[in-house]
Amino acid sequence: MNSEYQPKIIGFLCNWCSYAGADMAGTSRMRYEPNIRIIRVPCSGRVDPILLLKCFQQGVDGVLVSGCHPGDCHYNEGNYHARRKFALLRDLLDYLGIGKERLRIEWCSASEGQRFVDKVSNFTKEIAELGPRSGS
Amino acid sequence: MDSELIQQIRYQARDLLESGTVKGVIGYERASDGLTARPFFAYEPAAVERLIFDETCSHNLARYLVDKKNEKMAVVVKPCDSRAINLLLNEEQIKRDMVFVIGVTCPGVVETSWNHKDEELQARCKTCQLVEPPVYDFLANGEAVERPQGEPYLDVQQMETKPITERKAFWSEQFDRCIRCYACRQVCPGCYCPECFVEQLNPLWVGIRIAPKENELWQIMRAFHLAGRCIGCDECERVCPVDIPLSLLNRKLEKEVKELFDFQAGLNPEEQPPLATFKKEEKLGFEE
């Protein structure tokens, strides 16, 4: 693997839990991989699959969607809908040869700064091992 | 001599038109090559003599109902097509009292092209379990049909077991050929949005440039918008001018929906579609 290669990762974080979790990691001065570019969304249920596909189309190597833990959604059920949607999308991406490893769904609350750091570092490491999306 | 089935369809259609129950009957007539079938709209009782039904009637006529919302129409449907009516009812696109469903017991249909019809049944007919439509007002009964009990997802499973690089190469090759004519969308009973995402200019989801990446985005989103909604009439594949195996994509999602949510589209208009509902306790492979 090329040691110069830096994977490009987009993170869709829900405003109420995961984005605040990332904020918590920041204010606590925790360190995590800088490869992730974060986009704040109102809810993980708002993340349309086309947003993720657009990311992949534009040459992103991995996409993280992170929302509130099931049961904790600010809008009561947004993340339940997201879960069903992404379960199907994950299988479809795998079927098409894009690879389900490149799409990661996580649940992370506002107080879980450390959890957010762990998940992002872990995901970045996995994507770096997979390498760039060749010839896409 | 016309078959018993055709006589029944014509009799029912004439009755509906003469009594004024419906404004028109959507059915099939013989195409001008004298061999295959094409859609036909009968508005006069005399026109019903042109109605036919045989193994060349591949079109899904339920698609026309979306454009005929304000007129009561009768439509001739095969069992697979009638699932589209259930889908449209479930999504409140049509009203049940605005459509009269003439169901037919289907012996299966064959591939056709101009002046030519195959001997063999279409692949989807070989694994079809439906003999009678799940929804009808009148059933035209043909000869008793025996259904071969094939495994419907054999080719999907074969594709799944291929290595990921092979799958990627296969689908790239397929999507590269796409000319984005959107015939697959036009013919689909589930694709009825007044403005499709590919036609939106701001944001421009799918660019106008001729590029495999744009094709891929269109194809994946088309398939995904039909997740849990595709009724498997394979019209998209029939009309595709570059023969992309769209059914191989649609049936993958159909299979996943069946496995994950135990749901099949178009069998019951009252049942909640899988992506409009959820179960709190399900995990679906995501850790908490």
| Nearest neighbour of A83 by CB, restricted to B214, B223, B286 | B286
| Residue B126 pLDDT grade (very low, low, confident, very high; cuts 50, 70, 90) | confident
Interface of B with A in 241-270 (CB under 8 A): 249, 252-253, 256-257, 260-261
- Name residue, tokens 């990762």: A9
| pLDDT computed for residue B12 by the predictor | 95
Residues from chain B that touch A59, judged by Cβ atoms under 8 A, are none
Q: Is A97's CB within 8 Å of B169's CB?
A: yes
**How do residues B192-204 score in pLDDT, each as one tens digit?**
999 999 999 999 9
Burial tier of B26 (Cβ tally within 10 Å: 0-12, 13-18, 19+)? buried
Low-confidence ranges of chain A (pLDDT < 70): 1-3, 134-136
Residue B148 has pLDDT above 80, yes or no: no
| CA closest to B227 among chain A residues | A88
pLDDT tens digit sequence for B204-232: 999 988 899 999 999 999 999 999 999 99
Q: In what order do the strands lie in the sheet with A9-14?
A: A36-41, A9-14, A62-67, A103-107
For residue B168, the model assigns a pLDDT of 94
Question: In which region does residue B243 sit, left (phi positive, over 0), alpha (psi from -120 to 50) or beta (all else)?
Answer: left
Helix (H, G, I), strand (E, B) or coil at B74: strand
pLDDT for the residue B120: 87
Min Cα distance A102 → chain B (Å) is 13
Rounded CA gap, B200 and B39, in Å?
Answer: 31
CB-nearest to A57 from B159, B165, B213 is B213
Whole-angstrom distance, CA of residue B40 vs CA of residue B55: 16
* Dist. CA B221–CA B211, nearest whole Å: 16
pLDDT at B233 over 70: yes
Domains annotated for chain A, with CATH where assigned, are 9-130 (3.40.50)
Using a CB-CB cut-off of 8 Å, the residues of chain A touching B171 are 96-97
Whether the pLDDT of residue B103 is over 60: the answer is: yes
Tokens, residue A53 = 């596909």
pLDDT surpasses 50 at B253: yes
The reported pLDDT for the residue numbered B225 is 96
Give the pLDDT score at A136.
44
pLDDT of B186 over the 90 cut: yes
Among B25-39, B53-67, B137-151, name the one with the lowest average pLDDT: B137-151
Nearest to B252 among A80, A95, A107 (CB): A95
The ipTM (two decimal places) reads 0.91
Neighbours of B196 (CB within 10 A): 18
Q: Do A77 and B278 touch (CB under 8 A)?
A: yes
Q: Is the pLDDT of residue B1 over 70?
A: no
Chain B residues whose CB is inside 8 A of the A68 CB are none
CB of B155 within 8 Å of a chain A CB? The answer is no
Q: Is B278:A70 a contact under the CB 8 Å cutoff?
A: no
pLDDT tens-digit map of B2-57 = 788 999 999 999 999 999 999 999 999 999 999 999 999 999 999 999 999 999 99
Q: Which residue, B67, B38, B287, is CA-closest to A87?
A: B287
Q: Rg (Cα) of chain B, in Å, rounded?
A: 20
Q: Residue B132 has what pLDDT?
A: 87
Residues β-bridged to residue A64:
A11, A104
CB B37 within 8 Å of CB B30: yes
- Per-residue pLDDT of A76-91, as tens digits, reads 999 999 999 999 999 9
Averaged confidence pLDDT in chain B = 92
Counting one residue from A and one from B, how many pairs have CB atoms under 8 Å apart? 89
What size, in residues, is chain A?
A: 136
